[in-house]
Chain A
Amino acid sequence: MVAQMADTLLKIRELKIDGRSDETWTPIVKGIDLDLCKGEVLGLIGESGAGKSTVGLAAMGFARDGCRISGGSVEFDGVDLVKASASIKRSFLGRRIAYVAQSAAASFNPAHRLINQHTEAPVHHGVMSRSESEADGIELYRKLRLPHPEEIGFRYPHQVSGGQLQRAMTAMAMSCRPDLIIFDEPTTALDVTTQIEVLASIRKIVEEFNTAAIYITHDLAVVAQMADRIKVLLRGEEVEEADTREMLSNPKEDYTKSLWAVRSFERAPKPAIQTSAVPIVAIKNVTAAYGKEAVLHDISFDMHAGRTVAVVGESGSGKSTVARCITGLLPPIQGQVEFDGVALPRDYRKRDKSQLRQIQMIYQMADTALNPRKTIGELIGRPVQFYLGLSGGDRRRRVEKLLEEIELDPAQYYNRLPSELSGGQKQRIGIARALAAEPKFIICDEVTSALDQLVAEGILKLLARLQDELNLTYMFITHDLATVRSIADDVVVMKEGRVVEKGYKEEMFRPPHHPYTDLLLSSVPEMDPDWLTNLLSDRGVDNIGGAAVDKMENESSD
């Protein structure tokens, strides 16, 4: 690595980028320097809005619509991409610089087969002939450990899974053997078990072809596995930059330290449940189906007063469907949901107001959960009026009190629209709306997964405080085990519509586990930069992630 230092591939100096909003240009990147050598991986981290992706795109000499590069230089292999002509840029992009986007599903053209999209760039740039590129693509698919490499390229994007698509996109980026690949949050939308496979294959292929890479992410544990060096950005400015190990063991700036400290939040354990206690919500032998497709098979578990039950599992495991059964949006075909020992009607339309009031929900995407045309006062005021019958001044006072509880200033926020709030503030409004009904039980559906880590931590602390003050019961649906570790009391692990394991949190994080729980836990990246290397050498590439899940299924069916 040190020997290569002289061989600089990408040199960004004093890069300034403006974005257009409200008829004026405002700076979003304020003078960033960046050096990247051949074969080196640089991690760019920061919260949303820090300018990570904008810098990543600018490394290709490109600015999004509504943005412009207003100053500085981006020198790639001696050519300044900011000043270069369109034809020179065209000859670089795809061939020497490639880009892997966050959502492969949105980036592939759904109307063409994978391999046809794969061969497009090499044929266009005259690197390979079509048949050579096809053969090379199959070879890359094999290297990236995609199942059936011979035939997977001949499928359409919707016929392969998200993790496989992300790997196919990495293969596509590799198709011309570029010198530089920009990875823009390639694993953010994936499950942990899928993420680990994608990470392992990206790392392998980048090392094998000695490709330089910029790895953009907000997940510190992920970047620790991937990058040689880490650069931390905050509001368009560099906070600090250092080698990965140095950065992890000895961060200098306060902001970096606070990022590192996020994962340390953990609540004190609660006393064990008394055996005689009546659970607030009891799910008894629930089976549910969408049409004829059964998605929940005979699920049973209890949730007790004042406790947080985390329901974990991959996407498609039926976590959210359980929530839909409890709320009555999806009436179960068998079994029932009991509230405080009394069976609830299966369909929400048959429940009365007081039953509806007791079960509230907080959604993952605050953007879609809050009506964008209503002010904060109306949003929170409606349940207050609807359930408690308050109106006029009483209603306003109650809303203001709720706003104070979620730590927002009523005078400032009462008349605002959701679009005038940040992501974390919107989520707080979602919480206030749930609290306005004065419920006993709240379902939190992935409430923190769309938020930055610092903001997410604030939300978790708020929820924890509210639980202690109001003796609420939470059902916490999540795929993020770090969240489970920090807030949960009890854990339920789900897989393919079945409960695999349930119990107290302390027990769940201590072996022996069910093999699936073990796999989930082992797939969560840790801050240790050697974690992935160790895991791979411990278990072998065939025993991690999705491959291991497949294996488990084969064994159980044998």
Chain B
Amino acid sequence: MKILMVLILAFGCILAGGWIFRFLGRKVSGNKPYFRDMGLGVAFGYVFAALALAWLLWAYAQSHSNDPITANKFFFLGKAVEGFLLFSFAAWVFRFFGRKIGTSTSKRIFRSMPLTASFGVLTILVYAVVSIFAGWLAPYGQEEILSSANIVPGGNPNIGGSPEFPLGTDQIGRDILSRLIYGAQNTVGIAFATTCLAFFLGGTLGFLAATLQGWVDQFLSRGVDVLMAIPSLIFALLLMTIASAWAGSEQSLLTYYMIVIIAVIDSTRVFRLSRAVGLNIVVMDYIEAAKLRGEGLAYLIFREILPNAYAPLLAEFGLRFCFVFLTIASLSFLGVGIQPPMADWGTMVRDLAQFINFAAFAPQVASAPLLAAGAIALLTVAVNFVVDWMLQKTSGLKE
């Protein structure tokens, strides 16, 4: 009851603050249209945002307090703020140089790019470089067991870190930084291959269904419905269990089975999209003109329909990549995905998971499993930013 009263009181205060803010804004700016036509809700939002920002600043200051208990309490928030600022700055610099260097086309792309998209592009580029050159970049091997286990991330010897292993080592003494770098190669590479396969399958069948219609469409669509009716993660687990029985002692084959299984399950979503997009395109007069010319099916699909479906398919590719990537990480977390000793982010989260219990009093220790989880989250966010930007660009072109 008391909490409710406090909430109502706070709401009232912010509302009053908003009214005052708007009133002052009108007086100071000489009744500019922006303040003149401002709704009370907008003014409320401004005051609320200002308060939230003030709290954030206070909390950030706390995370650098000399008292270790207070500092530990706000440790993750402080790191998040620093990370946010760092990434924003990197994205800004990236975009700044993108606008200065390169051909006129690339400059134009960078000029129209919001900061979120430039962050996304930069992150994806970094991931790509890291995963391609993992062998050169990683200080140790992914399976290499080193002398000391359980070194705390951060490289601070006072709390159990070591400058040799900036991100620490895991329970059996493997370097986390190296495993993260190799994990990028394994997880991202496999996810990319899986997504490509899913698009090849789903896209081809979807356009085929849209072009031929009739019973072909019915057959394919109902088949896809059946596959989609089964919860995808459980279905994948089931198939992986069968596959591991099949693979027997050849555990390395299991990765290929996983690629095919996830690709088939995800191609159902791609099928739906490409069929829907295709149906919108096949009613166009230029398809009719091509049909009347006597063109064959392959020409219709690949030369007339596909070029017009690039934008939605590319956007879907980004999103689908995230889902595939998360599915692989989940499967690895559950123990049926990428097999040890290959490094993989999902497995790393699972193996280090118990350290999260230390979060309250030793945040540096608890950050060990969060590093791999953060790597997953960062890539997912980056891809989504880029997809958002591309969707906005393509829909903007249509208007």
State yes or no: do A and B come from one complex. yes
Interface hits, B294-318 → A, CB 8 Å: 294-295, 304, 307-308, 310
The answer, yes or no, to whether A321 is at the interface (CB within 8 Å) is no
Within 8 Å of chain A (Cβ to Cβ): is B33? yes
Of A137-145, A205-213, A259-267, A367-375, the one contacting chain B is: A367-375
In the complex, A348 has a CB within 8 A of chain B: yes
Partner of B284, one of A85, A351, A368: A368
Check A370–B286 contact: CB distance below 8 A: yes
A329 to B292, CA, bound (A): 8
Chain A residue nearest to B396 in the complex (CB): A66
A386 x B112 contact (CB < 8 A): no
Question: Are B307's CB and A348's CB within 8 A?
Answer: no
Q: What residues of chain B lie closer than 8 Å to A382, measured between beta carbons?
A: 293
- Cβ-defined contact, A373 with B307, below 8 A: yes
B37, B291, B293, most chain A CB atoms within 10 A: B293
Q: A328 contacts which chain B residues (CB < 8 A)?
A: 292
**In the assembled complex, how far is the CB of residue A423 from the closest CB belonging to chain B, in whole angstroms?**
15
Q: Is there a chain B Cβ closer than 8 Å to A433's Cβ? A: yes
Instruction: Please give me the residue from chain A that is nearest to B112 by CB atom.
Output: A23
Q: Are A348 and B292 in contact (CB under 8 A)?
A: yes
B281 nearest CB neighbor, chain A only: A371
Within 8 A of A (CB), among B5-19: none
Query: Do B286 and A356 touch (CB < 8 A)?
Result: no
Nearest chain-A residue to B39 (Cβ)?
Answer: A86
Q: Which residues of B contact A414 (CB under 8 A)?
A: none
A23 B286 Cβ-Cβ under 8 A: no
Asked if B295 contacts A386 (CB within 8 A), the reply is yes
Q: With an 8 A cutoff between CB atoms, is B393 at the interface? A: no
Complex CA gap A382/B294 in Å reads 12
Contacts of B64 in A (CB 8 A): none
Contact with B along A292-332 (1 / 0, CB 8 A): 00000000000000000000000000000000000111000
B292 lies within 8 A of A383 (CB): no
Q: Which of B33, B112, B294 has the most A CB atoms < 10 Å from its CB?
A: B294
A386 touches which of B285, B293, B308 (Cβ 8 Å): B293
Among candidates B37, B293, B307, residue contacting A356 with C-beta atoms closer than 8 Å: B293
* Cβ of A365 under 8 Å from chain B: yes
For A86, list chain B residues within 8 Å (CB).
36-37
Q: Tell me if A353 is interfacial: C-beta within 8 Å of chain B.
A: yes
The reply to whether the CB of A363 lies closer than 8 angstroms to some CB of chain B is yes
- Expressed in whole angstroms, the minimum distance between the Cβ of B40 and any Cβ of chain A is 13
Q: Take A348-B292, A386-B294 as given contacts and tell me if A368 and B286 are in contact as well, using a CB distance cutoff of 8 Å.
A: yes
CB distance from A519 to the nearest CB of B (A): 31
Give the CA-CA distance A542 to B213 in the complex, in Å: 48
**For residue A356, which residues in chain B have a CB less than 8 angstroms away from its CB?**
292-294
Measured in the bound complex, the distance between the Cα atoms of B33 and A86 in whole Å is 8
What class of interface size applies to chain B in its complex with A?
A: 10 to 19
Interface: A361 (CB within 8 A): yes
Minimum C-beta distance from A88 to chain B (A): 10
CA distance A86 to B39 in the complex (A): 10
Contact B285 A373 (CB under 8 A): no
Minimum distance in angstroms from B330 CB to a CB of chain A: 38
Name the CB-closest residue of A to B309.
A373
B285 interface neighbour in A23, A87, A363, Cβ under 8 Å: A363
For window 341-389 of A, CB contacts with B under 8 Å fall at 348, 351, 353, 356, 359, 361, 363, 365, 368-374, 382-383, 386-387
Residues of A177-202 contacting chain B, CB below 8 A: none
With A and B bound together, what is the CA distance between A383 and B292 in angstroms?
11
| Complex interface bits, A425-441 against B, C-beta within 8 A gives 1, otherwise 0 | 00000000100010000
Cβ of B27 under 8 Å from chain A:
no
User: Is the Cβ of A433 less than 8 Å from the Cβ of B294?
Assistant: no
Known: A23-B112, A371-B286. A353 touches B294 (CB 8 A): yes
| Residues in chain A near residue B289, CB distance under 8 A | 361, 363, 369, 433
Interface size class of A (residues with CB under 8 A): 20 to 34
Cα distance A85–B35 in the bound complex, in angstroms = 10
Write out the residue numbers on chain A whose beta carbons fall within 8 Å of the beta carbon of B304.
Answer: 371
Q: Is the CB of A85 within 8 A of B36?
A: yes
CB–CB A361/B111 < 8 A: no
CA distance A353 to B295 in the complex (A): 10
Q: For residue A374, which residues in chain B have a CB less than 8 angstroms away from its CB?
A: 307
Could you tell me the distance in whole angstroms from the C-beta of B99 to the nearest C-beta in chain A? 12
B391 to nearest A CB, angstroms? 18
Residues of A within 8 A of B112 (CB): 23
Asked if A348 and B308 sit within 8 Å, CB to CB, the answer is no
Which of chain A's residues have a CB closer than 8 A to the CB of B284?
Answer: 368-369
Contact A23 B293 (CB under 8 A): no
Check: B225 CB closer than 8 A to any chain A CB. no
Measured CB to CB, the nearest residue on chain A to B287 is A371
Q: Which of A87, A371, A372 has the most CB of B within 10 A?
A: A371
Chain A residues lying within 8 Å of B111, measured Cβ to Cβ, are 23
The reply on B351 being an interface residue by CB < 8 A is no
Query: Closest approach, in angstroms, between the C-beta of A3 and any C-beta of chain B?
Result: 38
Tell me if B144 is interfacial: C-beta within 8 Å of chain A: no
Bits for A387-425, please: 1 = Cβ < 8 Å to B, else 0.
100000000000000000000000000000000000000
Of chain B, the residue at the smallest CB distance from A353 is B294
List chain A residues, Cβ under 8 A from B37: 85-87
Chain B residues within 8 Å of A329, by CB: 288, 291-292
CB distance from A363 to the nearest CB of B (A): 5
A86 to B38, CA, bound (A): 9
Q: Which residues from chain B contact A327 at a C-beta distance below 8 Å?
A: 292
Give bound CA distance, A359 to B286, whole Å: 16
Task: Report B269-290 CB contacts with A as 1/0, cut-off 8 Å.
Answer: 0000000000000001110110
Chain B residues, Cβ within 8 Å of A23: 111-112
Assembly CA distance A368 to B36 (angstroms)? 45
Measured in the bound complex, the distance between the Cα atoms of B294 and A353 in whole Å is 7
B363 to nearest A CB, angstroms?
Answer: 45
Tell me the nearest residue of chain A to B36, going by C-beta.
A85
Residues of the A chain whose Cβ atoms lie less than 8 Å from the Cβ of B294: 348, 351, 353, 356, 386
Nearest Cβ on chain B to A450's Cβ, whole angstroms: 12
* B292 & A369 in contact (Cβ 8 Å cutoff): no
Question: Footprint of B on A, CB under 8 Å?
Answer: 23, 85-87, 327-329, 348, 351, 353, 356, 359, 361, 363, 365, 368-374, 382-383, 386-387, 433, 437
B residues with CB within 8 A of A? 33, 36-37, 111-112, 284-286, 288-289, 291-295, 304, 307-308, 310
Q: Which 10 A-B residue pairings sit nearest by Cβ, starting from the closest? A: A373-B307, A86-B37, A369-B285, A371-B286, A368-B285, A363-B285, A356-B294, A368-B284, A85-B36, A353-B294
Instruction: Knowing that A353-B294, A368-B284 touch, tell me 16 more A-B residue pairs with CB under 8 angstroms.
Output: A23-B112, A85-B33, A85-B36, A328-B292, A329-B291, A348-B294, A351-B294, A356-B292, A356-B293, A361-B289, A368-B286, A369-B285, A369-B286, A371-B304, A433-B289, A437-B293
- In the complex, 14 of the A-B residue pairs with CB atoms within 8 angstroms, ordered by the A residue number, are A23-B111, A85-B36, A86-B37, A329-B291, A356-B294, A361-B292, A368-B284, A369-B289, A371-B286, A371-B304, A371-B308, A386-B295, A387-B293, A437-B293
